Amino acid sequence: MTLGSRIAWDDTVLPFQLDHADIRGRVARLDGALDRMLRQHDYPAPISALVAEAALLTALIGQTMKLRWRLSLQIRGAGAVKMIATDYYAPAGDGTPARIRAYAAFEADDLHQVANPYDLLGEGYFAIVIDQGQGMVPYQGITPITGGSLAACAETYFAQSEQLPTRFFLRFGQSILPGEGPHWRGGGLMLQHMPKASPFAKGDGGTGEGGLLQAADVLDGADEENWRRANLLLETVEELELIGPSVQPTDLLVRLYHEEGPRVFDPQPVVFGCSCSAEKVRQSLSIYSAREIATMTTPDGVLTADCQFCGAHYEFDPATLGREADEGADLAG
């Protein structure tokens, strides 16, 4: 593979369809975007793993967002990891990249050695939020933290909330290419059964933890057999095939699903991007009184704020912030 073809697939999401199996899906490759998200925070290893997993899920799910919509994942736990938050900003126009960002909040003193970073979350919930823009009420779907991974939480969400059998297969890590230092890369493949006109479930409740629905609960007959075969083939994927850069996503799909009639669509480029700004920080502080603003002010007489996603640092004159400042500006206007 040439350097040009390698770069062409870095930071992209490729939608596809298996015409002979009634299954659709996406292949995601995150390179520079994932490296930027993780490198700037220098997270401990288990936190990096959770953020990488959440970022890949966000890219795979978010690819269906309409122009200017935003999809967010919010994972809240009661353990050492308190929250993982991600945002996928759909392209502002045709031919432009989507933007993605992510961060984690955790108690460093409570981190301990675990075989599975997921265990650091404890009990909590996994939420998908879709914001369609100004004037629209955001949609939010919630499922308990369950299944032993964030990918399993997402699969449960789709089975339970939308009765869509869904599978996520994710891999990530630091790679070292000749002449380069350690660099984060991640790859993921999502399978999803095409929606039925009238979703159904076999029996009462589901076979998942706490009676939650799973993929097997909403399929039968030929659909169930096609789904089982697609998942068995998915299990043959090797880590370097998924993460890249040596194997193109199109080649991977042909190797896995040549008998299922794979058909690909235009890939969606993805970049790291943050929506923070000084004006948004001002707006967030407009709910506070001058007295409350004073408690946030440093001894040097400035109020500072740092973006948890991108690390941007903002400094303000406290006299220009808060409810009273806004009211004064309105009167002056």
Within the chain, which residue ranges are assigned CATH 3.90.1280?
278-332
Q: Which residues face 242 on adjacent strands? A: none
Residue 109 tokens read as: 């003193």
Token pair of 92 as six digits: 């502002």
Cα separation, 9 vs 4, whole angstroms: 9
**Which residues have CB under 8 Å from 121's CB, separation 6+?**
50, 75, 77, 78, 79, 81, 145
Q: What local confidence, expressed as pLDDT, does residue 31 receive?
A: 93
Biggest distance spanned by C-alpha atoms of the chain: 71
Q: Thinking of the domain 278-332, which architecture would CATH place it in?
A: Alpha-Beta Complex (3.90)
Tokens standing for residue 173: 């890590």
| Under 8 Å between Cβ of 74 and 85 | yes
The contacts of residue 45 (CB under 8 Å, 6+ apart) are 117
Prediction pTM value: 0.87
Q: Would you call 191 helix, strand, or coil by DSSP?
A: strand
DSSP 3-state of 228: helix
| Predicted local distance difference test score (pLDDT) of residue 203 | 52
What are the structure tokens assigned to 148, written together? 């032993």
Residue 241 has which token pair?
Answer: 């095939």
Which CATH number, 3.55.30.10, 3.30.930.10, 3.40.50.300, 3.40.50.620, labels domain 3-272? Answer: 3.55.30.10
- Name residue 140's beta-bridge partners: 129
3-state SS, one letter per residue, for 85-121: EEEEECCCCCCCCEEEEEEEEECHHHCCCCCCHHHHC
Q: State both tokens at 214.
A: 């799973």
What residue ranges of the chain are covered by domains with CATH 3.55.30.10? 3-272
Per-residue pLDDT of the chain (333 residues; tens, 9 = 90+): 444 445 578 999 999 999 999 999 999 999 999 999 999 898 999 999 999 999 999 999 999 888 889 999 999 999 999 999 999 999 998 889 999 999 999 999 999 888 899 999 999 999 999 999 888 888 999 999 999 999 999 999 999 888 899 999 999 998 876 777 788 999 999 999 988 754 555 555 677 777 777 777 777 788 899 999 999 999 999 998 999 888 899 999 999 999 999 999 999 999 999 999 999 999 999 999 989 999 999 999 999 999 999 989 999 999 999 876 666 554 444
